[in-house]
């Protein structure tokens, strides 16, 4: 954990901020109603990012949180925010911006879980669903707004919500928001909230664009970094299956029918490909569903809920799900198509091996994808073993 200064050259360390490595939630001085909700959820000890970020956030410090997916970052900001809001005036005091609808819903769920014993209201605001129900909730008054940038601007233009009393701004998965082109919308929103506020920024990576965003909106921030940037979770076992592109479906069916897989997330590069994979798996007797941008929001919500509930064992998704998909117990992630960006590999496989649980990540590598796999290996700093399926001929792929 490092304290920062902002200079013309960038964000630089000025000295360490000490943290107690052995601590429980009860040691964090959180309100008793929050501790009760944490106990209800079955947790006793904070993760490293929670342990370091929560005390700083409670002191009102601006924070840049850098952490792999699955490290508990959502609770790292929801818990201190709830602690701050308890017993305070009933007006909109917190805004959280997220890149995707799915993450928006999951952050709202986190607030509801940890504020279950507190009088704090929260609403999720995102596109793909009608405006009117959201408008009614916003106009009725709400303590916390969790929103995607585009839909929030729609409500701001209609004057459905004002942030004159805002105290805390959270930019969640800032790198993803910038990747998706939300910089203009973020600037628009921030121009309409108080300058004097606490700002918490969380990101899996810190490219120059994220650093510039932090320098622009954070005041004397503290960096809380867990793990090595661009590294894959140590709890994930990696494997690459060299396979001709035309035999990927056969390999996938073989792997998923040769033994029981409890919860499998498959990434396809295209929406059409995702639908085709689902059809082939269903023909083989594997329960599966697809989630991508051509699906309506209710369809996507149902697909995710059925996956969470275990009604289906396989969810096939495009990169819409590589971040913000918080499903406990995913045992396997399959990269049916090798991701175009090495950082996307880290985010994809971060869906498994979460909260110190073990998981497996399979990557199907066609001949034209060898170069991308090599780039991934350089970024994560480790070779990925090549695996063949004994007794099952999938053809050959040139040695890489």
Average pLDDT, the chain: 84
Same structural domain, 245 and 213:
no
pTM of this prediction?
Answer: 0.65
- Percent of the chain exceeding pLDDT 90 equals 47
Region 194-212 average pLDDT:
89
Same structural domain, 275 and 211:
no
CATH code, 376: 3.40.50.300
Side-chain-facing half-sphere of 5: CA atoms under 13 Å: 6
Give the residue from 204, 226, 248 where a domain finishes: 226
Buried (b) or exposed (e) across 304-321, using 16+ Cβ within 10 A?
A: beebbeeebbbbbbbbbb
The pLDDT of residue 305 is 84
The pLDDT of residue 357 is 54
Same structural domain, 75 and 116:
yes
Give 292-301 pLDDT, tens digit per residue. 878 877 888 8
Give 249-287 pLDDT, tens digit per residue. 999 999 898 876 778 999 998 889 999 999 999 999 998
Q: Is residue 264 part of a domain?
A: yes
Lay out the sheet containing 94-97: strands in order across: 10-16, 2-7, 222-226, 63-67, 198-203, 168-171, 94-97, 144-147, 122-125
Give the residue from 198, 226, 254 where a domain finishes: 226
User: Which region among 188-202, 204-218, 239-253, 316-330 has the lowest average model confidence (pLDDT)?
Assistant: 316-330
Buried (b) or exposed (e) across 5-39, using 16+ Cβ within 10 A?
A: ebeeeebeeeeeeeeeeebebeebebbebbbebbe
8 A C-beta contact, residue 196 and residue 166: no
Same structural domain, 62 and 166:
yes
CB neighbours of 371 closer than 8 A, spacing ≥ 6? none
**Range of the structural domain that residue 84 is part of:** 2-226
The pLDDT of residue 230 is 46
Report residue 391's pLDDT band, with 50, 70 and 90 as the boundaries: low
Same structural domain, 20 and 163:
yes
Same structural domain, 11 and 119:
yes
Give 131-173 pLDDT, tens digit per residue. 999 999 999 999 999 999 999 999 999 999 999 999 999 999 9
Same structural domain, 306 and 169:
no
Total structural domains within the chain: 2
């Amino acid at each position: 954990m490092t304290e920062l200064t902002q200079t013309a050259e960038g964000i630089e360390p000025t000295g360490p901020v000490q943290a107690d490595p052995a601590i429980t939630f009860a040691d964090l001085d959180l309100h008793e109603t929050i501790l009760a909700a944490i106990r209800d959820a079955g947790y006793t000890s904070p993760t490293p990012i929670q342990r370091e970020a929560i005390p700083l956030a409670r002191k009102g410090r601006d924070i840049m949180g850098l952490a792999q997916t699955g490290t508990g970052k959502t609770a790292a900001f929801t818990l201190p925010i709830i602690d701050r809001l308890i017993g305070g005036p009933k007006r909109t005091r917190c805004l959280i911006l997220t890149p995707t609808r799915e993450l928006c819903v999951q952050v709202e769920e986190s607030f509801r879980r940890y504020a279950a014993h507190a009088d704090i209201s929260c609403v999720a605001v995102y596109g793909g669903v009608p405006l009117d129900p959201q408008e009614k909730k916003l106009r009725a008054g709400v303590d916390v707004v969790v929103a995607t940038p585009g839909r929030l601007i729609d409500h701001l233009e209609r004057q459905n919500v004002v942030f004159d009393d805002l105290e805390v701004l959270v930019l969640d998965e800032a790198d993803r928001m910038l990747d998706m082109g939300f910089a203009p919308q973020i600037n628009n929103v921030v121009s309409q909230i108080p300058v004097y506020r606490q700002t918490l920024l969380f990101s899996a990576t810190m490219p120059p664009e994220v650093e510039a965003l932090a320098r622009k909106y954070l005041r004397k921030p503290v960096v809380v970094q867990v793990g090595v940037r661009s590294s894959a979770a140590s709890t994930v076992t990696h494997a690459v299956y060299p396979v001709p592109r035309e035999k990927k479906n056969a390999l996938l069916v073989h792997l998923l029918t040769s033994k029981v897989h409890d919860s499998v997330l498959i990434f396809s590069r295209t929406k059409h490909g995702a639908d085709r994979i689902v059809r082939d798996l269903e023909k083989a007797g594997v329960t599966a569903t697809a989630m991508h941008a051509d699906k309506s929001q209710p369809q996507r919500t149902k697909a995710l809920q059925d996956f969470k509930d275990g009604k289906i064992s396989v969810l096939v998704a495009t990169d819409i799900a590589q971040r913000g998909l918080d499903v406990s117990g995913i045992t396997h992630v399959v990269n049916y198509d090798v991701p175009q960006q090495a950082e996307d590999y880290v985010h994809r496989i971060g869906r498994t091996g979460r909260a110190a649980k073990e998981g497996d990540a399979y990557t199907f590598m066609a001949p034209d994808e060898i170069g991308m796999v090599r780039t991934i290996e350089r970024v994560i700093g480790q070779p990925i073993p090549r695996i063949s399926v004994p007794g099952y001929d999938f053809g050959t792929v040139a040695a890489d």
